[in-house]
Amino acid sequence: LRPNIWEEFTERFGVRQIGEFYGATECNCSIANMDGKVGSCGFNSRILPHVYPIRLVKVNEDTMELLRDAQGLCIPCQAGEPGLLVGQINQQDPLRRFDGYISESATSKKIAHSVFRKGDSAYLSGDVLVMDELGYMYFRDRGGDTFRWRGENVSTTEVESVLSRLLGQTDVAVYGVAVPGVEGKAGMAAIADPHGQLSPNALYQELQKVLAPYARPIFLRLLPQVDTTGTFKIQKTRLQHEGFDPRQTSDRLFFLDLKQGHYLPLDQGVYTRICSGAFAL
């Protein structure tokens, strides 16, 4: 359940208790939140962390590469610091083993060594979470969903949450798109607008109040609906591939003109000027 709709959902439908969990069939670091902590996907004791040896460790959020200390071990995150969720592997323990996949290459990519201590092995979840002072964990990003713009890391999950809240819980997909000649990736938001009533500039007025300049989407795509999976997860692959090129879609596209301070329609001529560097982003 998305944190930004948790309380509204429980109030609207009279749900007394929500049990949330995080996990996957093959992972050894599943967690659960059974006491209704708002927004949390699970819990692990900070007093007795070795009882269930999972941990959030620091990574380079651009490359998802593990960061290590002088001894070559992974660096544990402190409360409030985002980190990659990992689980120590013990093949003798049914709850902590990792059997891998048919592909040996895919299996090796999910295992790191010397994580908790020298010579050990750990399963890499690929997901970035944050733990609070009590041990509750909160999902932040799926690996690769963070992009870098203007020297800052932008969390797609956080921007999606803000946009969805401002638009009355509308489906939103946020992702980074490459712009020729520009370092990093510019933010783009695909927003469900089935009735064609969304005003990009009214939205921008609200975004200025709640998002840092680097986190505000440079491009908008207004479409009838945002593609989701059977379990209602937002699908971004096609959107990322099509980018902000108007030749790839008939949806309404806009770009943020920083000089004028509002969104302008993006057609083929504007697209060409952006790609040539005539428009400063």
CA–CA dist 25, 207 (Å, integer): 38
Number of domains forming the structure of the chain: 2
Range from 38-42, 44-48, 230-234, 235-239 carrying the lowest mean pLDDT? 230-234
Which CATH number is 93's domain given?
2.30.38.10
Per-residue pLDDT tens over the stretch 58-81:
998 767 899 999 999 999 999 999
Residue 198 and residue 86 share a domain: no
Half-sphere exposure in the Cβ direction for 196 (13 Å, CA):
3
pLDDT exceeds cutoff 80 at 112: yes
- pLDDT of 148: 83
Percent of the chain with pLDDT over 90: 73
Q: Which of 168-172, 187-191, 277-281 has the lowest mean pLDDT?
A: 277-281
Domain stops at, among 95, 114, 142: 142
d(CA 137, CA 79): 10
Query: Does 254 share its domain with 201?
Result: yes
Single residue among 142, 164, 195 that ends a domain in this structure: 142
Classify residue 72: in a domain, yes or no. yes
| In the chain, % of residues over pLDDT 70 | 98
Residue 224's pLDDT is what?
95
CA distance linking residue 17 with residue 126, whole number of Å: 29
The pLDDT of residue 264 is above 90:
yes
Phi and psi dihedrals of 95, rounded to 5? -85, -15
Residues 136, 169 within the same domain = no
Same domain, 21 and 136: yes
CB contact at 8 A, 124 and 110:
yes
Query: Which DSSP category does 106 fall into?
Result: H
Cα–Cα distance for residue pair 99/135, rounded to 1 Å: 28
Residue 244 is part of which domain span?
A: 146-276
Q: Are 56 and 81 in contact (CB under 8 A)?
A: yes
DSSP state of 69: -
Average pLDDT in the 185-195 region? 95
CA–CA gap between residue 182 and residue 148 (Å, rounded): 11
How confident is residue 232, by pLDDT bands cut at 50, 70 and 90? low
Mean pLDDT across the chain: 92
Instruction: Record the pTM.
Output: 0.68
Sign of CA dihedral 88, 49, 127, 233: positive
| Domain presence at residue 256 | yes
pLDDT for 131-152, tens place per residue? Answer: 999 999 999 877 667 788 988 8
Residue 243 has pLDDT above 90, yes or no: yes
pLDDT at res. 233: 72
